[in-house]
Structure formats: structure tokens, C-alpha cells
Structure 1
Amino acid sequence: MTLTSHAGVKGTPVRLRPLRALCGTAALTLTLPVLFTGQAAAAVPAYSVYLQNYTTGLNAADSGGTVAAHNPKGNEDHQQWTLVAVEGGHRLQNADESDTCLGRSGSSAVTAACGAEGTTWTITPGADSTYTVSVPGTSQYLTGSSSDTSAVQLGSAGDLARWYLTPVTYATTAMPSADRRTLDQVTFLTAHNAFANGADGNFASFPVSLFPNQNHGISQQLSDGVRGFMLDDYTVSGQAVLCHNSCDGVSNPVPLATDVQRIVDFLKANPGQFVTVFLEDYASSDVLRSSLASVSGLSDVLYRPDQEGVATKGWPTMADLAARGKQLLIFSDRTRASDTANGWTTRDTFGVMYQREWTVENYWSMGGGLGDSDWSCYSRWGTGRPLTVDSTAFHPLFVMNHFRDYTISSTAETDNGKLLNRAQGFCTPAARKKPNYLAVDRYDLGSPTPLGTVGTLNTYVLASGQ
């Protein structure tokens, strides 16, 4: 199995140790032990893993001889470990460094030559597919730190001493049939700053206006298969309008209601289709409510997970949503606490969900418009809500951002061509879930195209409980 390193466009292949026997399917199904979420893990894995902290979502990495907690970064940061059974326990051998194992020195986690004193560990299955890694015959555990998120050390039991042994490559099974697949099993092509397209109207002042994120208007995006729309709304003259960074100096920005109306009209004409709108939301709740109230037919198609017990029962099937004509989900990046602190009506009272209650999302930037890229995949909202947040009943939707600070067509084309590799090799293990939304700039560029990558991800789901 080869994953491609992504420092800029250099793309140096890194050969990983072979995993277990591959089955000959397009969905890359691996023969791995099945571990069931919500129960004790059945066995210590015999394949390459990330040692991923249950509380923070960060990975244990060799950092020049010290083991530290780093943002998940695939095969680029000495974060992959192979578990080797030895007398008295297991060793965790670094997958891309010769004769280098996880060890200990006093209360510090270090790397050392495999077989050296302090490189044998007791690995014990726990609840929710987690494990503890302890010093044999003692109550000392490998743990994170409550005061320093970068620290990996020896300490006492607790949630910071719980670890996922996250597969480097996940086992998969075929996507359920159309009548059985649920919303959280599906991946949607998503246009970052969909309104900033240079076709529908003005979206920014100079020089930001020189860098449109998309090349086609909203109606064309819908026709092309875009099903997620990231929109930035500001208040101008009491109305929510769409601008990038600021509305200062922007003449005649497009009203939010105009683009939402385009989406609603499309959904009415195309039963069974499903769209999600993500608001980078700078308007008050009263302004937002007033603007959305002017959209004809919105209430007919608006989906309200808060009114259907999704947080305890899980997401519905796509077939159920289609049968009921519930075709549009709207999120705001504001928080319930901020609205309450401002004395505003909460947005969910008029059908706009607080995104942080329903999704997880990786940090948005891979770097500037040119030069090396950062392919690490970690929570936009910090270690307090890591990408790994999950429960047996409810699986947050995973929004995977894949774009730069500035949109340069040649860079976007290169980045989009590597979208599948990053989604499978970097972000899926970082979140322990498949992305539900792939958010890109210039969705029309790349080989394979982002829509092609979405098609690949929609052929499979992850095997449960790994």
C-alpha cells in the first residue's frame, strides 16, 4: 500500500508496511478484526495504527526522540505504529523509522531502539473501541496532559489515558442500498465560498475580488452536482447579504435570500435531491430570520433534525428524507451561547442548526495560494471538540475542508487532484469517520475531479468499530 506524501506538489511516495490481505474490491476492503463500537475492543490489532488520544483526537508522534501529541498528519510525521507481540506484552514500532519503538524514560514518553528497556507495554482493550497502554505490572499509563495538549507522558488512569488504535487504512464494506443508506453515510460535493464566483454578482472589494473561489454561479453549481454550499452572510441595510471578508466597498452584493431561493427552486424541481447550506454567519438572528422568511417554499423543504430526535436516534435514511420532501439542511457557525449572550433569539427556533452541535470540521486552511501545503487534518474548533467526537446513537457529520487561503487556479487543480488521497489517507483516520462533505475551491478543476472523488467515497462505508 502506498500513500503519497503531500509537501507542496513534490508527492514523494512513501511505502508503508503491508497491511493484511487486500480483497479485490474497488472499495479497498481489508481483512481486519471487527471491533464493535460501544463494547470492549475484541483484540489488539495486528496492523499499522495511529495511537490517537480519546480526549484530544491528537496522535502520538516521534518528535526527534521525544513522543509528542501532534495534529494528525497521515504518513508525514512519524505517527504510524505497528504493534508487535513480544514476551510480556507488545511493542509499538514506528512504521517508517528503522528499529524505533515507543519507550519511556522516567515519566516521559520517548523513542528508543526496539528491545531496549522500557519498550514493552501492556495494551488492554476498553470501552468504545479504546485501549490503555500501560507499564507492565504497574498502574502507570501512557497519557495526555490536561495542561499541555502536546505532551505524551506516564501518568494515572482516566480519559486522557484512553487511546484509539486507529487503522492507518480502514476496512470498508459496500454502501448500503439506496433505500437503506443514511445521511451520515453519504458524501456530498461542497463549494467553499460558493457565492464568490464572479458570475452571480459582486462579492468582495479589491484585491479580494481578484480571487473568486468558484468559476460558476449557484444555478450552474447545482446542475453540476454541488450539494453543499458555504455562504458568508453579513448585514447591509437590515438584510443578510453575501460578501467575502467584509461588505465594505462591495456594490450590490447578492442577498442571501436570492441564493437560498435558487436552491429551493432547484429542490422543488428535483425531488429526491438533498442540499446543505453552511453559513459563516455574521448577521444577528433577527436579520437572518427575516431574510430567510422571504424565501418562497423554504419551509416545505427545510429539514429539522432537532425536531426528530436525531441526537438520540441517529440520522434518517436518504429515502425517508426524499419521501417526505425534506431536502434542505441549514447550519450556522455561530454558537447557541453567543446568541444567548447577545440576547438574540436562538437560530434553531427558525430552523437554522448550530453546526457545532451536529458536525465536526477540520481546520480550513492548507496554506497560502502558492507553495507547500499542510495536509494535516485536525479540528477547526480545537481539542475541546476533536474530529473523533462520536457516540453509539449519533454520528456527527464530518465536514472536510480542502482549500487554501487564496484561490489560485493552478494550485486548486493540483490540490483537487489529491483530494481522494487526503480524504482516505489523512482525514478519514484523523476523524475515524468518512467525510460527509468535501469542501473545495474550483470544484470544476482536478484529475480526478472532486465530483469523481465524491463518487468513489459513495461506493463504501467504513467497517464498524475499528
Structure 2
Amino acid sequence: MSLTRPRALCAVAALALGMPVVFSGPATAAVPTYAVYLQNFATGLNAADSGGTVAAHNPKGNEDHQQWTPVAVNGGHELRNTDKSGTCLGRSGTSAVTASCGADGTTWTITAATDSTYTIAVPGTSQYLTGVSSDSSAVQIGGSGSLARWYLTPVTYATTAMPSTDTRTLDQVTFLTSHNAFANGVDGNFASFPVSLFPNQSRGVGQQLTDGVRGFMLDTYAVSGKAVLCHNSCDGVSGPVPLATDLQRMVDFLKAHPGEFATVFLEDYVASDVLRSSLASVSGLSDVLYRPDQEGVATKGWPTMADLAARGRQLLIFSDRTRASDVSAGYVTRDTFGVMYQREWTVENYWSMGGGLGGSDWSCYSRWGTSRPLTTDSAAFRPLFVMNHFRDYTVGGTAETDNGKLVNRAQNFCTPAARKKPNYLAVDRYDLGSPSPLTTVGNLNTYVLTPGQ
């Protein structure tokens, strides 16, 4: 049974209340009959109606004329824009345009390709709807290739219930994550004036662990040969918290709570030998450290949470540095001592929703550009999806409002943008918002997406 638009709206309402929703998905080769995003396979960008032309834009939910409904017509399919009645995706020469449905150039041959993608062709020709390049916003009519492959990504995904506790895998679970967990004004100094006036969190890392936070974003700088935690820089910061101090808190908590799992994301400004020395000072770290690089995850997929719990592998550490930058600098690569290069294992959306006050930008696109879009995936290995949901600087009232809208953005903006459910929801002031970020995480942990869409 296909997921029609009225049913999709019911699904959104049910999921927002934390109710599991079970639908059967469409056949992989079938052309969908419900609203979709035309999402480019190579770039992850969406085809949007842009004042009569069609352009590649950052995914932005229902805010940017990016939703289309395939409708069977004589000779193929039309792609009808859901925002503009009677408007279809069309073509004029080599340009992609919008035109009145039924006009010349609005009929397409939509054919299933590989990896859940489709081609959208001019009927009877070898010309396709295509992007121009990975760094261009143009959409045009041209030849075949990866830029001429499109996901027909559902506006609202069909879902099935979360697998049982003994079979669910790491990439099926969502974790509450505190952005700049160290910048809390409780554990120690984290920034100089005036940045110190805007703590990202209001509770120390120990309390965050108790409250259910399981992802921790930490900024590391080198001071006197040690990795310490500061925001922007350590200039003028007296007594910043050592990285080893917060890691020790986590290791101690995890050992006292078998079966729990935590992840650290380092915004990493230290040489690898400084980081290695700091990690070596954390008692018991090697006992709980999880090493996906040593377990064939890139070819076999992520393990079950039950397997990790049984083996006591409870802590995963990422660095935002790249392997190439470390090699270029002559450093020992960080994965030799258990710190994974994040860009090899995750995808992550751009970090800012805007300033601390005023309007916000809910578009969801890769922090690392079109070379690693949020849609990056394979049959063997699904990168973990880190979803950022915070502003340039933290204002309590704004964070409270934003956090109350987290479930909406996660389900209706970022899930279709990445074609995967977020694994980490990163927020400021996780203690604020209604529903709370922890409640939103609980809601997301009741279901998984139906595969093959």
C-alpha cells in the first residue's frame, strides 16, 4: 500500500505524540504516488521551483517549493509542485523550468536505477534531468551520469517499530547530545568575556550523564602541552577544564552503568601527540573504548547495542580533523590510538540555525559540503547522522523555543534531507523546551524508517 499524503499527515501527528506508526513501504521499482523531494544522488541537494526556473537548493522541508508529486499521465509522468496548483516541472531547451501542467515539456519518463535512485528522462531520448556540477545550483537537461540520478525521497517516511533491544543496531538509535557540553559555567571556566556570558549548557558534564545525555561535543585546545576545553580559544581563560577530566567522568559513569553507551565529538585543535597523552591519562579508557575501525564496520555495518553492552564497549570518540591534515602535518594518525576521523564514519548537517535572536534557518545540508552530502550511504555501511539544532550563540528563551520544535525539524526537515533518522540530536540548553529534547529522543527511538524508499 502506498503512503498517501493524508496518511502522511496522520503519521506526523502520531509520531509527534511518540506513538509508533507502522506502514508498508512501496515497491522499490515503483514510481511513488505521494509527495517527494527530487534529491540529487551526487550532491544531496533538492530540485526547487525558483521563480519559474528549477535550481538545486539546500533541503528545506516545506519552505522552499521543493516538494513534487509524481502523477501518471499519457506517455509518462508529470511532477507536480505541491505548493503551486497546476505547476509542473518542465523543460525549455536545455533549461529546467516550471510550467503549467499539461504543457509541452512537462511529461517525463521516470525509471528506477540503482541504489534506490531514479532517472528522469525526456521521453524517447537519452537526455535527462541533471545537475551541472557538485558546486553549481543549476539544474538542466543533459547526459547520463551520477548527477542525472535522483532520489525520490518521501516527504514523510513510512516507518516500522524499533527492533527489539537485543537486535537493534547502533545506527538505528538516537542519542541526546549536548553542544559544547563543557561550556556550562559549572565545571570550570570555558571562555573569556564576553563569550563567557553565553554558556551553551547550564549543568555540568556529570549531571548531563545522569540526565540522559549520551553525546558530548567538546572543543580541545593545547595549553602547556595538555588538551583542555575552551570555546573559540583559551586566550584569557583561567583554569579551563582538562579534556581528561571530562573523559574520566564519562568512563567512571559508563563503568558504573553497564549497557550505557556514549559518544564524544572533538572539535579538535591539538596535535595528535597532545591528544594521545591526554587520553593516556584517563584511567580505564581502554576498557570501554569502542574501535569500529578494528571490527570491519565499514564493510559489515554497525553492531547491535546488545553486542556492545555484552563486550563493555561503551565509548566512541570522534575528531573533526581529517586524516589528510594529520598526515600533511606529520602527525601520528589519531585512529592509531582509538580516535576516529568523524568524516569517515558520520554525516553532519551545518551547525548554525542563525543568530541567537530572530528568525532561524531550518535548512538541513552537509557541514562538509556536497563532497560528502547527508545522503552518503551504501548497502554495507550507513554513516551515523549527527543533527545539529542550535544557534550562533545561546539565549535561554530562544533555545527553549527551538528545542520545543526539535521533533518537527528532525522528522520533517532533516530526516528526508539525509534519508536517514538522526542518530545524535545536538542542542544547546537540553534542559529547556516542551516537548523536551529528551522526550524527542524517546519518540525517535520508537521507530525506524522503512527501507527501500
Once residues 7 and 32 of structure 2 are traced to their aligned partners in structure 1, the CA distance between those partners, rounded to angstroms, is 11
Once residues 299 and 332 of structure 1 are traced to their aligned partners in structure 2, the CA distance between those partners, rounded to angstroms, is 17
Of 5, 15, 18, 2:6 maps to 18
Is 1:205 aligned to residue 192 of structure 2?
A: yes
CA-to-aligned-CA distance 1:50-97 (integer Å, 9 cap, x gap): 000000000000000000000000000000000100000000000111
2:279 corresponds to:
292
CA contact (8 A) 1:22 1:28 kept: no
CA contact (8 A) 1:21 1:31 kept: no
- Following superposition, the deviation at residue 21 of structure 1 comes to 9.4
- In the comparison of the two structures, how many residue pairs are matched? 445
1:82 corresponds to:
69
CA contact (8 A) 1:19 1:47 kept: no
Is 1:96 aligned to residue 83 of structure 2?
A: yes
Is 1:350 aligned to residue 333 of structure 2?
A: no
2:327 corresponds to:
340
Is 1:435 aligned to residue 422 of structure 2?
A: yes
CA-to-aligned-CA distance 1:384-407 (integer Å, 9 cap, x gap): 000000000100000000000010
- Following superposition, the deviation at residue 235 of structure 1 comes to 0.2
Q: Percent identity?
A: 81
2:290 corresponds to:
303
- Following superposition, the deviation at residue 275 of structure 1 comes to 0.2
Of 33, 36, 55, 2:26 maps to 33
Is 1:263 aligned to residue 250 of structure 2?
A: yes
1:422 corresponds to:
409
Amino acid at match of 1:89: G
**Structure 1 residues 464 and 292: CA distance shift in structure 2, 3 A:** same
- Following superposition, the deviation at residue 29 of structure 1 comes to 3.3
Once residues 341 and 189 of structure 2 are traced to their aligned partners in structure 1, the CA distance between those partners, rounded to angstroms, is 28
5 Å-filtered alignment, 1:152-167, equals 152-167=139-154
Is 1:398 aligned to residue 391 of structure 2?
A: no
Once residues 262 and 342 of structure 1 are traced to their aligned partners in structure 2, the CA distance between those partners, rounded to angstroms, is 31
CA contact (8 A) 1:69 1:151 kept: yes
CA contact (8 A) 1:179 1:319 kept: yes
Amino acid at match of 2:21: L
**Structure 1 residues 454 and 147: CA distance shift in structure 2, 3 A:** closer
CA contact (8 A) 2:8 2:156 kept: no
1:245 corresponds to:
232
The root-mean-square deviation of aligned C-alpha atoms, in Å, is 1.3
Once residues 31 and 426 of structure 1 are traced to their aligned partners in structure 2, the CA distance between those partners, rounded to angstroms, is 22
CA-to-aligned-CA distance 1:168-210 (integer Å, 9 cap, x gap): 0000000000000000000000000000000000000000000
CA-to-aligned-CA distance 1:125-148 (integer Å, 9 cap, x gap): 011100000100011100001275
CA contact (8 A) 2:374 2:417 kept: yes
Once residues 348 and 458 of structure 1 are traced to their aligned partners in structure 2, the CA distance between those partners, rounded to angstroms, is 30
Once residues 219 and 28 of structure 1 are traced to their aligned partners in structure 2, the CA distance between those partners, rounded to angstroms, is 35
Once residues 434 and 448 of structure 1 are traced to their aligned partners in structure 2, the CA distance between those partners, rounded to angstroms, is 19
CA-to-aligned-CA distance 1:12-38 (integer Å, 9 cap, x gap): xxxx95356967882233444143xxx
1:454 corresponds to:
441
1:369 corresponds to:
356
CA contact (8 A) 2:117 2:152 kept: yes
Using structure 1 for the length normalisation, give the TM-score: 0.94
Is 1:221 aligned to residue 214 of structure 2?
A: no
CA contact (8 A) 2:25 2:450 kept: no
CA-to-aligned-CA distance 1:202-251 (integer Å, 9 cap, x gap): 00000000000000000000000000000000000000000000000000
Please state whether the residue corresponding to 1:129 is helix, strand or coil. Answer: coil
Using structure 2 for the length normalisation, give the TM-score: 0.97
Is 1:128 aligned to residue 112 of structure 2?
A: no
CA contact (8 A) 1:30 1:170 kept: no
CA contact (8 A) 1:361 1:400 kept: yes
Amino acid at match of 1:29: V
CA contact (8 A) 2:23 2:160 kept: no
Of 13, 28, 33, 1:46 maps to 33
**Structure 1 residues 124 and 300: CA distance shift in structure 2, 3 A:** same
Amino acid at match of 2:251: V
Once residues 142 and 343 of structure 2 are traced to their aligned partners in structure 1, the CA distance between those partners, rounded to angstroms, is 31
1:7 corresponds to:
none
Of 134, 154, 174, 1:187 maps to 174
Once residues 255 and 20 of structure 1 are traced to their aligned partners in structure 2, the CA distance between those partners, rounded to angstroms, is 48
Amino acid at match of 1:244: H
Amino acid at match of 1:323: A
Please state whether the residue corresponding to 1:128 is helix, strand or coil. Answer: coil
Of 134, 154, 161, 1:174 maps to 161
Amino acid at match of 1:94: N
Amino acid at match of 2:94: S
Runs (4+) of structure 1 exceeding 3 A deviation are 19-25, 28-32
1:230 corresponds to:
217
Once residues 140 and 128 of structure 2 are traced to their aligned partners in structure 1, the CA distance between those partners, rounded to angstroms, is 8
CA contact (8 A) 2:132 2:139 kept: yes
Where does the alignment leave 5 or more consecutive residues of structure 2 unmatched? none
5 Å-filtered alignment, 1:138-153, equals 138-146=125-133, 148-153=135-140
Amino acid at match of 1:18: P
Once residues 167 and 426 of structure 2 are traced to their aligned partners in structure 1, the CA distance between those partners, rounded to angstroms, is 25
1:13 corresponds to:
none
Amino acid at match of 2:407: L
